[in-house]
């Protein structure tokens, strides 16, 4: 029977694992970007039952190559242009390894003071790097916290907003009257999901109109819906504005939306999951417009475009009172002197679960390794490559380009001259399938105004000019048939 892995064994296998990852980084371009595995292929290659006797770690590494790798889609491949990027980086991987090595559960300050205090410092650093408002700093009325995802941040924001809107009544008695949430057709699906989880109900999610050209939320329609709902006896809980929507990176007018929220006394959450980190560059600080004056909560994902391995969402609130009011429960077994003294932060009160990983280690590692300069360079590279691609698309009469494209995402489609819309959309999807099956690149699609568009999101750390050039060459060639 195998006992615990000894430090000596760990040293040996650990070196093998680190070598394995470094080899993977070196040869990543030799894999097809999109996994070619069919449903059940990986599952059926795995034994149905667990081993009775322990096995050597060599056996795991052998199966990693044999069984697991064929079922991997290579998110770090320079030809990965699907969804949004999920950046990994050396310092983040090592930071996460250290977190695993320490095996800390950071639910309370007292369960590892460094886990809490490094997070406080690091999230304040990130607020400074992005030039976020002073209210979001931990020495102000609010503060930041690392969540697992923007979806969790949205749910936490709704719960805090609910607490502020009804003075804690829903948390105590359950929701006893109609509560409403305001989004647009372009808002991420996690908001509707959060409304269902929070008990607001999908039927009480109000969809605000968007400008058909820019896909930005219409503040006048928001105002009208809020007035109508309040008159009908509903309690508006929260409005979610988005900076850089998932479909096309559309930008909602936060200052105008914030003005409406203030007038109606409604919580404003700003979801900048993908695009918010662009504010590391001074030329992108406009993404913060309206945050200082109006946002009650804000979230962005270093795990998308800021070189920090999944999972790492950064969430800030302007006032931590309603957040802690909504989520704090202190059972006897968690009582401790530090918590009672009020001198420390217990981040369990800022999130849904009790337990929490030491995620600050990887973000701290990333910020120290790259510095502000390196982070800016990464964002600028993605934006520059996206602009190059957009200029080639724009110059090609066979293609149509969606504008604006302020960040690293470019949306476009072949014109398929003379084809009826429905056939053209089907042809665009078939083109995408052929490109993805080639293994050289991976694109996804969206729909705007009922029409299919291809999405090409540039921002993988490995993507260089030649990869974007090659992708465009293939797209043109495939479209020409």
Ligand X SMILES: *Cc1c(COP(=O)(O)O)cnc(C)c1O
Binding region for ligand X (CB under 6 A): 84, 149-151, 188, 190, 242, 245-246, 271, 273-274, 301, 313
The residue (of 180 and 190) whose beta carbon lies closer to ligand X is: 190
Question: Residue 127, SS3?
Answer: helix
Closer residue to ligand X, CB minimum distance, 76 or 245: 245
Quote the Cα angle for 454-459-464, to 5°: 100
Residue 249 beta carbon to ligand X: minimum distance, rounded to whole angstroms = 9
Burial label for 24, CB within 10 Å (0-12, 13-18, 19+), is middle
Beta partners for residue 236, in sequence order: 180
* Closer CB to ligand X, 150 or 215, in the complex: 150
- Residue 166 or 303: the one with the smaller Cβ distance to ligand X is 303
Burial class (CB in 10 A: 0-12, 13-18, 19+), 437: exposed
The Cα–Cα gap between 305 and 84 comes to 8
Cα-atom radius of gyration of the chain, to the nearest Å? 24
Per-position DSSP letters for 205-253, written without gaps between them: EEEE-B-TTT--B-HHHHHHHHHHHHHTT-EEEEEEEEBS-TTT--B--
The residue among 193 and 285 lying less far from ligand X, judged by its C-beta, is 193
Q: Which CB atom, from 120 or from 242, has the smaller least distance to ligand X?
A: 242
**Smallest distance, Å, CB 371 to ligand X?**
25
- Nearest distance from C-beta of residue 63 to ligand X, angstroms: 28
Q: Which is nearer to ligand X, 204 or 245 (CB)?
A: 245
Torsion of CA 24, 28, 34, 38, to 10 degrees: -40
Least distance (Å) between residue 325 CB and ligand X: 24
Compute the least distance from the CB of residue 167 to ligand X, in Å.
29
Q: Which residue, 416 or 445, has its beta carbon nearer to ligand X?
A: 445
Q: How far is the CB of 370 from ligand X (least distance, A)?
A: 21
384 with 469: CB under 8 angstroms? no
Closest approach of ligand X to the CB of residue 23, in Å: 29
Closer CB to ligand X, 364 or 407, in the complex? 407
Best CA proximity match to 117, nearest among 295, 338, 328, 313: 338
Determine whether 427 is exposed, middle or buried from the number of CB atoms within 10 Å of its CB (0-12, 13-18, 19+): middle
Give the count of alpha carbons within 13 A of 283, CB side only. 8
SS3 track for 8-24:
HHHHHHHHHHHHHHHHH
CB of 246 to ligand X, least distance (A): 4
Name the residue nearer to ligand X (CB basis): 32 or 85. 85
Q: Minimum Å distance from CB 190 to ligand X?
A: 5
Q: Is residue 386 within 8 Å of residue 471, measured between CB atoms?
A: no
Q: How far is CA 27 from the centre of its chain?
A: 27
Q: How many CB atoms lie within 10 A of CB 43?
A: 11
Distance CA 286, CA 359 (A): 28
Residue 150 Cβ, how far from ligand X at the closest point, in Å?
3
């Amino acid at each position: 029977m195998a006992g615990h892995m000894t430090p000596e064994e760990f040293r040996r296998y650990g070196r093998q694992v680190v070598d394995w990852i470094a080899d993977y980084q070196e040869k990543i371009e030799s894999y097809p970007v999109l996994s070619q595995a069919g449903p059940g292929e990986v599952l059926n290659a795995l034994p149905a039952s667990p081993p009775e006797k322990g096995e050597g770690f060599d056996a795991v590494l052998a199966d990693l190559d044999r069984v697991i790798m064929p079922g991997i889609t290579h998110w770090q491949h320079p030809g990965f242009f699907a969804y949004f990027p999920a950046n990994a980086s050396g310092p983040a991987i090592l930071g996460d390894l250290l977190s695993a090595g320490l095996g800390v559960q950071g639910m309370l300050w007292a369960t590892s003071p460094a886990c809490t205090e490094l997070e406080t410092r690091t999230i304040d650093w990130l607020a400074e790097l992005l030039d976020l408002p002073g209210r979001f700093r931990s020495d102000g009325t609010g503060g930041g916290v690392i969540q697992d995802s923007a979806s969790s941040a949205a749910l936490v924001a709704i719960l805090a907003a609910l607490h502020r809107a009804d003075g804690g009544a829903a948390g105590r008695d359950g929701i006893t009257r109609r509560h409403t949430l305001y989004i647009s057709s372009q808002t991420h699906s996690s908001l509707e999901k959060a409304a269902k989880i929070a008990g607001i109900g999908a039927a009480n999610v109000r969809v605000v109109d968007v400008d058909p050209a820019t896909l930005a939320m219409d503040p006048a329609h928001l105002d009208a819906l809020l007035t109508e709902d309040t008159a009908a006896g509903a309690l508006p809980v929260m409005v979610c504005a988005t900076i850089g929507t998932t479909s096309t990176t559309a930008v909602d007018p936060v200052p105008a939306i914030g003005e409406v929220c203030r007038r109606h006394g409604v919580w404003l959450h700003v979801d900048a999951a993908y695009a918010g980190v662009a504010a590391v560059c001074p030329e992108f600080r406009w993404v913060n417009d309206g945050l200082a004056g109006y946002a009650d909560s804000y979230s962005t994902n270093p795990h998308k475009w800021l070189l920090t391995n999944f999972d790492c969402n950064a969430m800030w609130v302007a006032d931590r009172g309603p957040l802690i009011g909504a989520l704090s429960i202190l059972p006897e077994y968690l009582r401790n002197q530090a918590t009672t003294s009020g001198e420390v932060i217990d981040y369990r009160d800022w999130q849904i679960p009790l337990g929490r990983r030491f995620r600050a280690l990887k973000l701290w590692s990333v910020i120290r390794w790259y510095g502000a300069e390196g982070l800016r360079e990464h964002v600028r590279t993605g934006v520059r490559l996206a602009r190059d691609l957009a200029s080639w698309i724009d110059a090609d009469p066979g293609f149509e380009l969606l504008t604006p494209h302020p960040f690293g995402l470019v949306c476009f489609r072949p014109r398929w001259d003379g084809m009826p819309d429905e056939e053209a959309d089907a042809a665009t999807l078939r083109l995408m399938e052929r490109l993805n099956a080639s293994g050289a690149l991976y694109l996804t699609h969206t729909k705007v105004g009922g029409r299919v568009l291809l999405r090409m999101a540039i921002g993988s750390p490995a993507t260089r000019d030649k990869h974007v050039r090659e992708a465009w060459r293939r797209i043109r060639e495939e479209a020409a048939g």
